[in-house]
Copies of this chain bind each other. A is one copy, B any other.
Amino acid sequence: MEEIDDNIQFKISDELIENVERLIASKDDQNILELLNAYHHADIAEILEETDVEHATYVIKLLDSEKTAEVLMELDEDTREKILATLSAKEIAEEIEELDTDDAADIISELPQDRQQHVISQIEDHEHAQDIKDLLRYDDNVAGGLMAKELVKVNENWKVTECVKEMRAQAENVTRVHSIYVVDNNEKLIGRLSLKDLLIASPRDHISNVYIPKVDYVYVDEDVEEVANIMQKYDLEAIPVVDKNKTLLGRITIDDIVDVIREEAEKDYQLAAGITRDVEADDSIWKLTKARLPWLLIGMFGGLGAASIINGFSFAMTTYPKLLIFIPLVQATAGNVGVQSSAIVVQGLANNTVKGEILKRLLKEFMLGLVNGIAIAIIVLLISHFLFKTTYLVSITIGIAIITVIIMAALIGTFIPIFLDKRGIDPAVATGPFITTSNDVFGILIYFSIAKLILGF
Q: Which residues of A contact B (CB under 8 A)?
A: 1-5, 40, 42, 176, 189-191, 195, 213-218, 230, 232-235, 237, 246, 254-255, 257-259, 261-262, 265-266, 268-270, 272-275, 279-282, 285, 288-289, 292-293, 295-297, 299-300, 302-304, 306-308, 310-311, 314, 317, 321, 324-333, 335-337, 339-340, 342-345, 347-348, 351, 353-354, 361, 364, 367-368, 371-372, 375-376, 379-380, 383-384, 387-388, 406, 431-433, 436-437, 440, 444
Contact = CB atoms under 8 A, between A and B. Distances in A.
B306 A329 contact: yes
Nearest to A3: B214
A259 to B, nearest CB: 8
A327 B328 contact: yes
Q: Max chain B CB contacts within 10 Å: which of A255, A275, A296?
A: A296
B235 A255 contact: yes
A261 B254 contact: no
Contacts of A335: 299, 332, 335, 436
Contacts of A40: 234
A289 B372 contact: yes
Given A255-B254, A258-B258, A281-B353, A332 B235 contact: no
A325 B344 contact: no
Given A288-B368, A300-B333, A388-B311, A340 B4 contact: no
4 shortest interchain CB distances as A-B pairs: A303-B329, A265-B265, A273-B343, A306-B328
Contacts of A367: 285
Contacts of A232: 255, 258-259, 262
Contacts of A440: 328, 332
Contact of A432 (B237, B259, B339): B339
Given A213-B5, A261-B261, A353-B282, A336 B296 contact: yes
Identical chains in the assembly: 2
Nearest to A305: B328
Given A42-B235, A303-B328, 16 more contacts: A237-B255, A261-B261, A266-B347, A272-B272, A273-B431, A285-B367, A289-B372, A295-B336, A296-B337, A307-B325, A310-B324, A310-B327, A317-B324, A328-B331, A331-B332, A335-B335
A415 to B, nearest CB: 13
B281 A336 contact: no
A312 to B, nearest CB: 10
A382 B190 CA distance: 68
A376 B295 contact: no
A444 B336 CA distance: 18
Contact of A348 (B191, B281, B296, B431): B281
B237 A340 contact: no
A327 B302 CA distance: 12
Contacts of A237: 176, 237, 254-255
A300 B380 contact: yes
Contacts of A233: 42
B436 A332 contact: yes
Contacts of A246: 4
Q: Max chain B CB contacts within 10 Å: which of A300, A314, A333?
A: A300
Contact of A218 (B1, B254, B310, B330): B1
A340 B274 contact: yes
A196 to B, nearest CB: 8
B257 A4 contact: no
Nearest to A300: B376
Given A317-B317, A329-B307, A4 B215 contact: yes
Contacts of A311: 325, 388
A300 B405 CA distance: 13
A123 B173 CA distance: 45
Contacts of A351: 280
Nearest to A230: B1
Nearest to A229: B1
